[in-house]
Chain A
Amino acid sequence: MLANCWHGKKDVRVDRVPDPAILNSRDAIVKITSTTICGSDLHLYNGFIPTMEKGDVIGHEFMGEIVELGKNVTNLAIGDRVVIPFNIFCGVCNNCQAGLSAACENSNPNAYIQEKMMGHATSGFYGYSHMTGGFAGGQAEYARVPFADVAALKVPDHLTDEQVLFLSDIFPTGYFGADLAEIKPGHVVAVWGAGPVGQFSIASARMMGAERIIAIDRFPYRLRMAAERAGATDIINYEEVNVLEALKELTGGRGPDACIDAVGMEAHGHGAQFAYDRAKQMARIELDRPIALREAIMSCKNGGVVSVIGVYGGFIDKFPMGALMNRGLTLRSGQCHVKRYMQPLLERIERGDIDPSFVISHTMNLSDAPKGYDMFVHKADESMKIVLHP
């Protein structure tokens, strides 16, 4: 089959690789109909995620049709149309039963690597390095889906791929960011990053009844989408104004009740702070550039919540602990426990509360994946979400 493989920094290639086979009794093989490129894939592409190997099949957002089933999958049938969450999880361990599927205790065969690096391990993820298990990803014609009986979400035929594909990651992730932020009707919410994930945090905050939602980015087309499609009431272009000042002005001096970081480790910035973090990141003294995160903490209202869904990989410097502690902020974060949100969000799509396809900017053939990455990393041609069809 054809699959998009990682070959090094800024080097992905669509290679011919063997087809996947059933390895465990709860596996399914899915013939992929749609897959996409995520902001998280850019961290791999830019070489910031350790434990990648040449030839790794990448991609973790995909859906398709079941073509083969392991002997212990009884609730699915060949031909079922399914969306697959990016976390691989068993459904029976303590964390899975507590709804923490991104922290499944059984699905990461390389857990020991993360235990050394992070203390404890995450679940397995598709196509996202060897420390998350070394699973082949979904930017391919077929994928093996472990624990398919608990993972796969069957989707009704009247919804298009474009409408349900993002249930695999970014819609639940954006919603998760808003959920962690404990948004209540009447709240003021600020979202750093108006990428696809940020767009869904904004849309979710709106669904939760936030009264004022402020989108922060530097790309006018992304800010425009936030305001026109996702539901932001205000936008801040951080290249034009000082974000902390602008947020004070927009919130009567109080600061937002909730601040969501949908930017992550590769935040962009200006001046001395950006140069400092970039230099340290290049020298690998600091793995992440926490520019948006620092700003979110400084801006948040006293007693407010800072919710971090942008991905970080290692250590950060100049963390404003004093602001966090003295002003009584709550910091929450995580890889999204996607499965928890899939069914309720599917229902919202069916009810017409939201049509997630609004983030799609380009549709390409899988064989054009390298072009898609190059475009998305440079935010060229107003790219937002690129959907690939095998």
Chain B
Amino acid sequence: MDTHQTRERGDGKVGTLSKGLGWLSVGLGVAEMAAPAALARLIGVQPDRRTRTTLRLFGAREIAHAIGIFAKPRQPMPVWSRVLGDAIDLSFLAWAMKSKRTNTERMVGAVVAVLGVTVLDVFAGTSLQRTGRVQRPHTKKMSVTINRPLQEVSQRWREVAGDLSSKGQVTFRTAPGGRGTEVSLEIPTPGRLKMAAGRLLHNDAEQMADGDLRKVKQLIEVGEIVHSDSSIHRGMHAAQPSARKER
């Protein structure tokens, strides 16, 4: 009864950037895990045991970022986790800076490098966030075939569809083989939160529109809405006649 409409997956550039950041994570992660002492000297920190352990942990974290990015290169979340990592790196550097045994020149170089990468991370994150929003299906199309010629259907639609037309875009076309008219209704999908709330309150917009479309079909084909012993009640009701005087 319904089909999802998915927008063209977009913007290769941001995808490439985030993958590049992923590779950066791999390189940094491997270096931190395999040669923490050398790396410590490079950024001007004393390679004592505590520093080496910290750098190894950072290395593991970088690898985790990389895995996240490669698994979902178009998702902003793994890139945001890198930004968080950048913040940790910077606070580590700030802490190391206080030590007297630090090579200040190298340390400043390291801070500048991390800040540079942070800018890239934030840029990639926001871009992905933006394209990600466009990528989510944002309308839902549902259709029904009404066993009457197009002209009659579009005319009757105006009489019986009520406010259904205001809920979305309605289109009519003749069904293959002239077997009636295909009516489709494309409605905007509510945000995730609203959708979940709707489900909870049993007034899911999609399901309601779907049911309404079915009722329009009944009104045009049969002339009235078809009831069962339970469907005339709101909510669940046993399939037995409703209270009325006994025969």
Binding site for B on A (CB under 8 A): 1, 3, 5, 17-21, 23-26, 53-57, 72, 90, 92-94, 97, 105-107, 109-112, 115, 124, 127, 130, 133-137, 142, 144, 146
Given the interface contacts A18-B246, A20-B241, does A25 sit within 8 Å of B224 by beta carbon? Answer: yes
A52: shortest Cβ distance to chain B, in Å? 9
- Please, which residues of chain B bring their CB within 8 A of the CB of A97? 147
- Chain B residues, Cβ within 8 Å of A135: 228-230, 239
Q: Chain A binding site: helix, strand, loop or mixed by DSSP?
A: loop
Q: B222 within 8 Å of A by Cβ?
A: yes
CA distance A92 to B219 in the complex (A): 12
Within 8 A of A (CB), among B144-175: 145, 147
Contact with A along B196-225 (1 / 0, CB 8 A): 000000000001001100100110011110
Q: Which residue of B lies closest to A105 (CB)?
A: B217
Structural contact, B239 and A94, CB atoms closer than 8 A: no
- Report if A5-B207 is in contact (Cβ < 8 Å); known contacts: A93-B221, A94-B179, A109-B227: no
Instruction: Tell me whether chain B's interface is mostly helix, strand or loop, or mixed.
Output: loop
User: A5 with B240: in contact, given A90-B226, A94-B179, A124-B228 (CB under 8 Å)?
Assistant: yes
Given contacts A1-B247, A112-B207, A115-B1, is CB(A106)–CB(B228) below 8 Å?
no
Instruction: Assess whether B88 is interfacial by the CB under 8 Å rule.
Output: no
Q: List 23 A-B pairs, Cβ < 8 Å.
A: A5-B240, A21-B244, A23-B227, A25-B224, A53-B239, A55-B239, A56-B239, A90-B221, A106-B222, A109-B228, A110-B228, A110-B231, A111-B214, A112-B1, A133-B228, A133-B230, A133-B231, A134-B237, A135-B229, A136-B239, A137-B239, A144-B229, A144-B241
> A92-B147, A134-B230, A135-B229 in contact; A106/B221 too (CB < 8 A)?
yes
A135, chain B: closest CB distance, angstroms: 5
B242 interface residue per 8 A CB criterion: yes
- Give Cα A285 to B244, complex, Å: 42
- A20-B245 Cα distance, complex, nearest whole Å: 10
Task: Say which residue of B211, B217, B240 sits within 8 Å of A3 (CB atoms).
Answer: B240
Cα A26 to Cα B223 in complex, Å, equals 10
B236 within 8 A of A: yes
Which B residues touch A92, using CB under 8 A?
147, 221-222
> Which residues does chain B contribute within 8 Å of A23, judged by CB atoms?
227, 229, 232
How far does the alpha carbon of A127 sit from the alpha carbon of B147 in the complex, in Å? 28
Contacts beyond the supplied A24-B226, A25-B224, A112-B214: 11 A-B pairs with Cβ under 8 Å: A5-B238, A18-B244, A18-B246, A20-B241, A23-B229, A56-B238, A90-B221, A94-B180, A110-B228, A134-B229, A146-B226
List B contacts of A72 (CB < 8 A). Answer: 223
How many angstroms between the C-alpha atoms of A18 and B247 in the bound complex?
9
Q: Within the assembled complex, what's the spacing in Å between the Cα atoms of A1 and B245? A: 10
Residue of B nearest to A7 (CB): B238
The reply to whether A18 and B180 form a contact with Cβ atoms under 8 Å apart is: no
Contact B231 A109 (CB under 8 A): yes
Residue of A nearest to B179 (CB): A94
Taking a contact as CB atoms under 8 Å apart, the answer to whether A24 and B227 are in contact is yes
Contacts of A5 in B (CB 8 A): 238, 240
**Residue among A25, A111, A136 with max Cβ neighbours from chain B (10 Å):** A136
- Chain A residue nearest to B247 in the complex (CB): A19
A26 CA to B227 CA, complexed, in Å: 11
Determine how close the nearest CB of chain A comes to the CB of B156; give it in whole angstroms. 14
Give the CA-CA distance A90 to B224 in the complex, in Å. 11
B226 touches A109 (CB 8 A): yes
Residues of A within 8 Å of B230, CB to CB, are 53, 130, 133-135
Does B113 sit at the interface, judged by CB under 8 A? no
Expressed in whole angstroms, the Cα–Cα distance for A17 and B247 within the complex equals 11
Q: Do A24 and B1 touch across chains, with their CB atoms under 8 A apart?
A: no
Q: Report if B71 contacts A (CB, 8 A).
A: no
Residue on A nearest B147 in the bound complex, by CB: A94
Cα separation A24 to B243 with both chains bound (whole Å): 17
Residues of B within 8 Å of A90, CB to CB, are 221-222, 226
Residues of B near A3 (CB, < 8 A) are 240
Docked CA distance A130–B244 (Å): 22
> Using Cβ atoms and an 8 Å threshold, which residues of chain A touch B240?
3, 5, 17-18, 55-57, 136
Q: A176 to nearest B CB, angstroms?
A: 24
Contact A107–B229 (Cβ < 8 Å): no
Q: State in angstroms the CA–CA spacing of A134 and B228 once bound together.
A: 6
Measured CA separation A146–B210 after assembly (Å): 23
Nearest chain B residue, comparing its CB with the CB of A52: B239
Provide the bound-state CA to CA distance between A26 and B221, in Å. Answer: 13
In whole angstroms, what is the CA distance A56 to B230 when docked?
9
